[in-house]
Amino acid sequence: MTDKTATTAGQGGEPHQRADADHPVLTTNHGVPIADNQNQLKAGARGPVLLEDEIYREKINHFDHERIPERIVHARGTGLHGYFECTDSLADITRADLFQKRGQRTEVFARFSTVAGGAGSVDTPRDVRGFAVKFYTREGNWDLVGNNIPVFFIQDAIKFPDLVHAAKMEADRGYPQAATAHDTFWDFISLMPESTHMAMWIMSDRTLPKSLATMEGFGIHTFRFLDQAGKSTFVKFHWKPKAGLASSIWDETVKTAGADPDYHRRDLFERIGRGDYPEWELGVQLFDEEFANAQPYDILDATKIIPEEVLPVRIVGKIVLDRYPDNFFAETEQVAFCPSHVVPGIDFSNDPLLQGRLFSYQDTQIKRLGSTNWHQIPVNQAKGREGGCPFHNMQRDGHMQMQVPKGRANYEPNSLALAGEIAGPREDPKSGFRSFEEDLDGQKLRIRPESFADHYSQARLFWRSMDKAEQAHIASAFVFELSKVSLEHVRKAMMANLRNVDETLATRVADGLAMTLPPASPVAAEPIDMAPSPALRIIGGPREKKDLDGRVVGILFADGTDAAELAKVKDGVKAAGGHPLLIAPKIGQVPLSDGSSVAADAQLFGQPSVTVDACAVILSEDACGKLLKEGAAIQWVMDAFGHLKAIGHNKAAKPLLDKAGVEPDEGVVDLAGFVEAAKKRYWDREPKIRTLA
């Protein structure tokens, strides 16, 4: 790719703070003044970063070692074993072994996580979700380490410690935990216009997934595929959930956190238990230099996407996660992912965020797992190679060494095999890993290319691609978050940035805060209008979930419930691929109308309707009369209606719906139409029950 005109750090119009009378000079730990805290040292504006950048290495090294043993970010997570199956050969594009043959399977371990909270936080805050997959290929381990959002907050890895420090609980008071609704986070975001696109995503329903099985995943960065001859093809990775996309809404999420802090990990555990294995298709966007140069954005910029309508996603495989770890600590906690772990046929681009991650993750694992030998922990070991030890090298000793190397030669090359001693491993020029042979010509400097300067066009694209209900949720989320910001100038700065995204959005946020809308902030590059991308929607998008596969349907029943009605609804849910959950005021054997009894799966007070996807209420007149006096029963129905879920009911249960304020609509049906109605949410109901920004 040809370099575009470069600009110095701190794009024109960006409000980065400089040293003055009120701000002392920023220095390294050794007192050296820092001239540029925005960019890593690179070989040319769009070239790779340089190892000699001591300012970056000192900053990221200190950051990597700030916490032990818990992960600094992505501490709250859950993992699953499974396999990857190639469904479309890429042998003509990459030499990577796992993509050569249709039907070829590769063992995997996947970990999903929240970003901001600690290990003891809840599963369901508004947050980005980590989506990391370790492939145990026959040529070593490949770690595809991404998120459920395809872009990131920053363009250069040197800003990562600043981002996470701002997002974490505030340093003086130790709260809020697992939340971005506070001063320091929004102060940082408001001063970093490059974060605006990501801010749109995190305020959207994407950060409130209904289940980890109903979210997408992305590799975020641009990588390279290399074929046998070393020819490069750029690639971006996508995970598409077989279960479809589905999110929660804010009120539902808040109540879920209180009802079940482990909701997401419990959901995956139970899916595995009933054989409803989470599954994702792996898709790729493949393109060359000519395509990259023709786009109105830089494909090395991690704050940008390539819309699927511009470059379709080609499905090349799938992962099926079918086994929960035998021990959470040994596997889920000790698994270690590094973006630097690639296999022959996969290589890196010069994305400065990716380039920084290549150093940071390896450094973090050494500190967190206590040893340079962390790769010997079973979940991290290479295991795909046929025969013998999965790794061979001259590395020896070190803390927690678990191997017993034989022979006296721990160096290469050596000739001791000629004396009858153990032969050591040697390099393999034919099949070994090779980097892309890229021509480089540039000055050694700290700089950001001008092609990175447009911070608002894609944020505008995202907003204009949303369904009206999703736009309302985004505006409402900004209002909620900024209402928790005590510094008025931060709120104003953020609204000034939003004016560059969309005037309607900014106005809705200002109205929701009862504040005067400030002038738009200055821009480094004028935003452009891009064609909307329907693929970015959840509601009304191509992957919105509209079936019962894998979904849990709560059926509220009690003493005297009609046995035939209960059986028909239960069987209908199962036939449609759903999982019926019988909920009663008391757990245990519940007597039915025909003299039989059935055990409840859960108790009403401990299984609120936020934990299920649709609700049926099947009661006798006597039982309904009793439940009219139970606040938990009224709230169970009220929340189901407020959270836009389908509600099926028999005639005797109607008084309970009336007391809960349930109004007739398309999603409130009799039992005959319930199974079909339960396949979706009813977004048209929302304006009738909730005023959003």
Q: Which of 386-418 are b and which e, b meaning 16 or more Cβ less than 10 Å from the residue's Cβ? A: eeeebbeeeeeeeeeeeeebeeebeeeebeeee
Give the CA dihedral 250, 577, 237, 218, nearest 10 degrees. 20
Q: Is 74 a catalytic residue?
A: yes
Residue appearing with tokens 């818990």: 70
Q: What does the alpha-carbon distance between residue 279 and residue 285 come to, in Å, rounded to a whole number?
A: 20
Tokens coding 371: 């040893």
DSSP class of 112: E
Cβ-Cβ contacts under 8 Å for 68 (sequence gap 6 or more): 367, 368
HEC string of 225-253 equals EECCCCCEEEEEEEEEECCCECECCHHHH
Q: Is 62 a catalytic residue?
A: no
DSSP class of 544: B
Residue 660 is which amino acid?
Answer: A
Is 426 exposed, middle or buried, given 0-12, 13-18 or 19+ CB atoms closer than 10 A? exposed
Is 488 exposed, middle or buried, given 0-12, 13-18 or 19+ CB atoms closer than 10 A? exposed
Cβ-Cβ contacts under 8 Å for 67 (sequence gap 6 or more): 368
DSSP class of 186: H
Alpha carbon distances (Å) from 229 to 57, 92, 101, 236, 508: 34, 10, 19, 21, 55
To which H or E segment does residue 474 belong? helix 468-483
The one catalytic residue among 39, 141, 147, 497: 147
The one catalytic residue among 39, 74, 197, 649: 74
Phi, psi of 483 (to 5 degrees): -70, -20
Tokens coding 217: 């995943």
HEC string of 74-101 equals CCCEEEEEEEEEECCCCCCCCCCHHHCC
Q: Which of 638-661 are b and which e, b meaning 16 or more Cβ less than 10 Å from the residue's Cβ? A: bbbbbbbbbbbbbebbeebbebbe
- The candidate with the shortest Cα–Cα distance to 115, out of 155, 159, 80, 166, is 166
Residue appearing with tokens 């770890």: 325
Do residues 486 and 671 lie in contact, with contact meaning Cβ atoms separated by under 8 Å? no
- The candidate with the shortest Cα–Cα distance to 239, out of 265, 274, 266, 209, is 209
Tokens coding 605: 């007070």
Q: Return the SS3 of 283.
A: strand
Do residues 623 and 565 lie in contact, with contact meaning Cβ atoms separated by under 8 Å? no
Residue 508 backbone zone (phi > 0: left; psi -120 to 50: alpha; other: beta): alpha
Q: Return the SS3 of 458.
A: helix
Q: Which residues have a catalytic role annotated?
A: 74, 147
